[in-house]
Amino acid sequence: MDASADDLLSKVCFECQLNRGCCFAAKPPLTNERIKILLDNGVSGELIEFAGYKRLKVKPDGFCVLFRTWRCGVHLIKPETCVAGPFTFDLRGSILEIYLKKKSICPMVELLKENREIFERLLTLAAENIMKLLKALPKDELAEILKIDEPETELVAEIWLQDWSSCC
């Protein structure tokens, strides 16, 4: 992605966070590997909780505990679902379904739909991160995560599970 496109997406994200963006009530799931990375980079274990799956806590104001001054405080090492946004996922049998949030809840979506190249790059990045997450999560934790409703999304890609072996 060129710098101007990256800057534009960052600006859209920043302005959205001022109005309760995707870091509000996020509770992203954490693999053991991601927890180790966070701890190794100074994140306190007290910011992590187990509620059917391991995840980041939220602050009293409703934002993720790692949300700092309207930006992610761990941007370079943030959890897989945070990297994947505004794409999200579900599983249907042996098919990984990738969904895109509607522009009504993520203003970045309009930009993605206007620029196919950026859309494809971010979709690939999202799929890679989601597949890494799925491979690393215990099955019972994944089952809990799949119960979470993701309203206002549209299906944009389907990936057969047997294709995963070459990934990640």
Which tokens in the block code for residue 25?
């009530």
Q: Identify the H or E element spanning 155.
A: strand 153-160
> With binding defined as CB under 6 A, does residue 56 bind ligand SF4?
yes
Encoded amino acid at 119, one letter: F
Alpha helices by DSSP H, listed for 68-149, are: 80-84, 108-114, 116-136, 139-146
- DSSP state letter for 166: G
> With binding defined as CB under 6 A, does residue 66 bind ligand SF4?
yes
Minimal distance, residue 73 CB to ligand SF4, in Å: 6
Encoded amino acid at 131, one letter: M
Question: Which x/- pattern over 75-114 shows residues binding ligand SF4 (rule: CB under 6 A)?
Answer: ---xx--x--------------------------------
Q: Identify the H or E element spanning 51.
A: none
- Are 168 and 134 in contact by the 8 Å Cβ rule? The answer is no
- Measured from the CB atom, the residue of 23 and 98 that comes closer to ligand SF4 is 23
Which one of 31, 53, 67, 131 is in contact with ligand SF4 (CB under 6 A)? Answer: 67
- Measured from the CB atom, the residue of 74 and 112 that comes closer to ligand SF4 is 74
- DSSP state letter for 21: -
Q: Which DSSP string do the residues of 86-105 spell out, in sequence order?
A: TEEEEEETTEEEEEEE-TTT
Segment contacting ligand SF4 (CB under 6 A): 46-54, 70-78, 87-95, 129-137?
70-78
Which one of 16, 43, 72, 100 is in contact with ligand SF4 (CB under 6 A)? Answer: 72
- Measured from the CB atom, the residue of 82 and 118 that comes closer to ligand SF4 is 82
Question: Which x/- pattern over 8-47 shows residues binding ligand SF4 (rule: CB under 6 A)?
Answer: ---------------x--x-x-------------------
